[in-house]
Amino acid sequence: MDKVGKYEFLAEPFHCDFSQRLFMGHMGNHMLNAADYHSSARGFGMKYLMTIKRSWVLSRLAIEMDEMPQMYTKFNVETWVESAMRFFTSRNFRVVGEDGKVYGYGRSIWAMIDTETRQPTDIFAIDNGAINNWIVTDKECPIDKGGRVKMDDSAQLVGTVETKYNDVDINGHINSVKYIEHVLDLWDLDWYREHQIKRFEIAYVAEAHQGDTLSFYRMQTGESEYCIRICKDGDTECCRSKVIFK
């Protein structure tokens, strides 16, 4: 089995925005699905982990796109493990069309948790560290790894969201992709008529659950760059995000 997984997806019409191009949230979802398909086929996926009270949780995600696939376009998401440590592993993505056109790339960091204690657990304890057999060091992912999203107290409260049933994933906390959608909803339709998302970053800090109120604080940190802090119930930080437009 190849160390790099390659999975076909379709830009379905109801997953596209007014410009007839795929929503960023759905692109993120396709990347996470590709990660699950890849890990499951190689023995360290969610289906197996849940039988031993373990689960993968996303810690960081960065997506950088030159453009989004148009409606009805078939494309592939390639994914591979770049590195693995005891508590975290790095996984990369490349989005490429059937004709070889590269749409963009993604980088992600994952932790493995004990589903009962909710604490990080040893990745190498799974099948005697079998994940090491799948590490790829010679495949390029040319986008920035990203770093800490730096914000200060000048960030303004620009919105709140009451979390409900559809926000919750299989781990019982707010779905990683739902945060992406809620962040990008901070700009209206007219903004997106004039701007494209060049890069989206998000780093998850603490879990939120159904019933929590999410507060979104935004500050502009560059000509086309914005940072967002998401807190639950007023003051507990859940995650930080950065959006760069073009």
The answer, yes or no, to whether residue 234 has pLDDT greater than 80, is no
- The pTM of the full predicted model, rounded to 2 decimals, is 0.95
User: Residue 145 domain-assigned?
Assistant: no
Q: What is the residue range of 101's domain?
A: 5-134
| 127/18 same-domain check | yes
The residue among 128, 24, 125, 134 whose CA lies nearest residue 90 is 134
Which pLDDT score is estimated for 147? 82
Determine what percent of the chain is predicted with pLDDT higher than 90: 90
Lowest-pLDDT range, 12-26, 142-156, 181-195? 142-156
User: Residue 228 domain-assigned?
Assistant: yes
Lowest-pLDDT range, 147-151, 178-182, 189-193, 197-201? 147-151
Q: What integer is the mean pLDDT of 161-177?
A: 93
Q: Which residues pair with 92 in a beta bridge?
A: 80, 107
| 81/201 same-domain check | no
Which pLDDT score is estimated for 165? 97
- Cβ(21)–Cβ(4) under 8 Å? no
Which pLDDT score is estimated for 146? 81
- CA-based end-to-end distance of the chain: 39
In the block, which residue shows the tokens 């009451």? 162
Q: What angle do CA 184, 79, 40 make, to 5 degrees?
A: 105
Give the residue from 134, 169, 198 where a domain finishes: 134
Q: What integer is the mean pLDDT of 9-25?
A: 98
Which pLDDT score is estimated for 80? 98
Q: What integer is the mean pLDDT of 187-213?
A: 96
| 130/162 same-domain check | no
Q: Residues 138-151: pLDDT tens digits?
A: 999 999 998 889 89
Q: Give the containing element (helix H, strand E) for 183.
A: helix 176-184
| 24/79 same-domain check | yes
The residue among 94, 24, 22 whose CA lies nearest residue 241 is 24
| 130/197 same-domain check | no
**DSSP state letter for 155:** P
Which pLDDT score is estimated for 148? 85
Q: What integer is the mean pLDDT of 14-34?
A: 98
User: Residue 237 domain-assigned?
Assistant: yes
| 181/62 same-domain check | no
Give the residue from 68, 99, 134 where a domain finishes: 134
Q: Residues 46-78: pLDDT tens digits?
A: 999 999 999 999 999 999 999 999 999 999 999
| 217/117 same-domain check | no
Q: What integer is the mean pLDDT of 104-124?
A: 95
Give the residue from 104, 134, 164 where a domain finishes: 134
Domain count, the chain: 2
User: Residue 149 domain-assigned?
Assistant: no
Q: What is the CATH classification number for the domain harbouring 175?
A: 3.10.129.10
Q: Which residues of 32-65 are buried (b: 16+ CB within 10 A; e: fewer)?
A: bebbbbbbeebebbeeebeeeebbbbbbbbbbbb
